[in-house]
Amino acid sequence: MKPIFKAKKKTAVLLAVTAAVLTALTAIAFTIAGTAAAAEDTYVTLQCESGISSQYTVEKGQTVNLTVGGLNEAFSGEPDTAQVINTGGKLNNLEITGKKAGTATIAYGTDFGKITVIRYQVTDSKNISAYTIKDGGTIRLDKPGDVKPIPVEVVSGTDNIKWHSLNETVASAGTNTGTVTAAKKGVTIIIGEFTDKWGVDRDIHILVGVGVSLDGIDDTGGEPNKPITATGAESVVDGRILDNEQTGDGDWVEIARNGDYSLIIRKDFIKCYRDQSQTDYWTWYAPEVTGDNYGEPNNFLRQALNKWFNMEINGNPDGRQTLAKDARLRQYTVQNNAYSIPGSSGKYPASLTDGFSKPAAYMTGEGNDVAFALSWSEAVSFCSVSSRYRDENFPSLQSGSIAAANYGKINNLNRIYLRSAGDSSGTMAIIFGGGSEGRGEVFQNSKAYIHPALWVHRDVFE
């Protein structure tokens, strides 16, 4: 077991601050839609779902004019984003100029006592709105000193992505060059940060391995046992149960396999809450104060899972439930790409296939994004009874008998969070619990419980 995130404390603080700032400044929900462009390549389109119509959208550097009878005063709540000029005169003209990508509140009053408030979207088409992640979002380097380009190609907008490594002792990234240089054997994550067309801060995660296998191939020269392939619906298994003696964390249920690795889900939910003053809400997600995109650092579900997996190692000041430092599971957990493949929800047939994660053949007992939540695709194929869709011609789908059997093995009286964003603002996909809502049905909601999932090596069952 080789920990790969020893320098994460500072990063965690920065991410927490970023989350707070983003939460305070934006109330608009955004999603990422990924579609397969070629084998192991993912074409990603970024979309603004603010609900602001094109009538109230202006491009950076451009000006729109409003004629308002009796106009006497106007201002912008965010003048750095959108500037207003009241030219007055007989034309009662109001000019709105886009200054930078983002949203701004424009308010104006008239001599008749009427006050109007309009939310404007400012776009910057030079910023990124589409890109392709190649090679499955992974880089394999053989030895220290090897250099490879980062497998991301900007399709729409200017490539202004800034790159950095979470562990430069393993591999470093050129901030602007888009290349990775190996330093020593190990695994790290390269993060690319940029501002998109609508003014939202985004990040891309690339998994990097130096002298280690990311695909199940034995780097020592031996033959692979079972190489890792693309995870799919056919990966489902009528899972074995891992008991507390095998995990050190209660019962877990195996629901899928890929090569020598098993996808497991915790039988019971974890108790996580924002702070000790809110213990009554320790299982709830709060969409009004955090993003619904699992790939964003301010997503509460992702934060809660990372804290559950790492807090016992880094210190646990608020007493939340965590995975024990000496839990046997930590000896078998492996890195994976779930954080970068949240998948869509409620879209038939796309949501059935666009959210499958897969393991990397590198064991690590600590670090962010080792633990994750299932996606819509994974829930439908591996652990559910049915699923519901927005297509009026195809409103629902029964899950397979093995998926239904696996669902029956977990504590399913409550809703279970999935990492796929709901297609309604402020929601995440879920599996409904018992009661009249439709037990075992995959859909979406704003509140649910958290059941961690992990990719683990098969030896955990021995």
Residue-wise pLDDT tens digits, 396-454: 899 999 999 999 999 877 889 999 988 777 678 899 876 545 678 898 776 788 899 99
Comparing 13-17, 160-164, 323-327, the range with the smallest average pLDDT is 13-17
User: What's the token pair of residue 83?
Assistant: 């500037």
Whole-number pLDDT of residue 312: 65
Whole-number pLDDT of residue 30: 27
- Local confidence band at 250 (pLDDT 50, 70, 90 cut-offs): very high
User: What's the token pair of residue 170?
Assistant: 């393993």
Q: Are 387 and 248 contained in the same domain?
A: yes
User: Closest by alpha carbon to 299, among 9, 15, 11?
Assistant: 15
User: Closest by alpha carbon to 451, among 397, 402, 400, 413?
Assistant: 413
Summarize pLDDT for 111-137 with one digit per residue, the tens. 888 899 999 999 999 999 999 998 888
User: Closest by alpha carbon to 170, among 367, 339, 18, 340?
Assistant: 367
Q: Are 283 and 427 contained in the same domain?
A: yes
DSSP category for residue 380: H
Whole-number pLDDT of residue 9: 30
Is residue 203 over pLDDT 90?
no
Domain annotation covers residue 174: no
Q: How many CB atoms lie within 10 A of CB 443?
A: 22
State CA 312 to chain mean position distance. Answer: 23
Q: Are 251 and 393 contained in the same domain?
A: yes
Q: How many domains does the chain have?
A: 2
Q: Are 112 and 248 contained in the same domain?
A: no
Q: Which amino acid is at 222?
A: G
Q: In the block, which residue shows the tokens 């009241």?
A: 86
Last residue of a domain, one of 123, 139, 164: 123
Q: Summarize the confidence of residues 288-308 as an average pLDDT.
A: 71
Domain annotation covers residue 278: yes
Domain annotation covers residue 212: no
Is residue 213 over pLDDT 60?
yes
Report the half-sphere exposure of 112 (CA within 13 A, side-chain side).
6
Domain annotation covers residue 5: no
Domain annotation covers residue 369: yes
Q: Are 229 and 346 contained in the same domain?
A: yes
Whole-number pLDDT of residue 34: 39
User: Closest by alpha carbon to 297, among 5, 11, 42?
Assistant: 11
CATH value at residue 72: 2.60.40.1080
Strand boundaries in 196-341, DSSP class E: 201-210, 241-242, 252-258, 261-266, 334-336
Domain annotation covers residue 40: no
Domain annotation covers residue 417: yes
| Beta partners for residue 189, in sequence order | 207
The verdict on pTM exceeding 0.95 is no
Comparing 12-16, 373-377, 379-383, 413-417, the range with the smallest average pLDDT is 12-16
Calculate what percentage of the chain has a pLDDT beyond 70: 78
Q: Are 245 and 387 contained in the same domain?
A: yes
The DSSP bridge pattern shows strands 93-98 and 138-141 to be: unpaired
Distances (CA, A) of 170 to 6, 152, 210: 11, 20, 7
Q: In the block, which residue shows the tokens 């000790």?
A: 276
> Helix, strand, or coil here: 159?
coil
Last residue of a domain, one of 123, 148, 180: 123
User: Closest by alpha carbon to 78, among 47, 58, 107?
Assistant: 107
Whole-number pLDDT of residue 286: 36
Higher pLDDT, 175 or 36: 175
Q: In the block, which residue shows the tokens 């609900």?
A: 51
Domain annotation covers residue 435: yes
Summarize pLDDT for 280-291 with one digit per residue, the tens. 444 443 333 345
315: Cβ–Cβ under 8 A, 6 or more apart, which residues?
A: none
Q: Are 299 and 433 contained in the same domain?
A: yes
Whole-number pLDDT of residue 94: 85
234: Cβ–Cβ under 8 A, 6 or more apart, which residues?
A: none
User: Closest by alpha carbon to 336, among 386, 376, 306, 372?
Assistant: 372
Comparing 48-52, 289-293, 383-387, 430-434, the range with the smallest average pLDDT is 289-293
Question: By residue range, what is the domain housing residue 113?
Answer: 48-123
Whole-number pLDDT of residue 314: 56
Q: Are 113 and 231 contained in the same domain?
A: no
Report the half-sphere exposure of 272 (CA within 13 A, side-chain side).
26
Q: Are 265 and 378 contained in the same domain?
A: yes
Q: Specify whether the CB–CB gap between 129 and 46 falls below 8 A.
A: yes
| Beta partners for residue 34, in sequence order | 44
Last residue of a domain, one of 78, 98, 123: 123
Distances (CA, A) of 424 to 81, 92, 416: 26, 39, 17
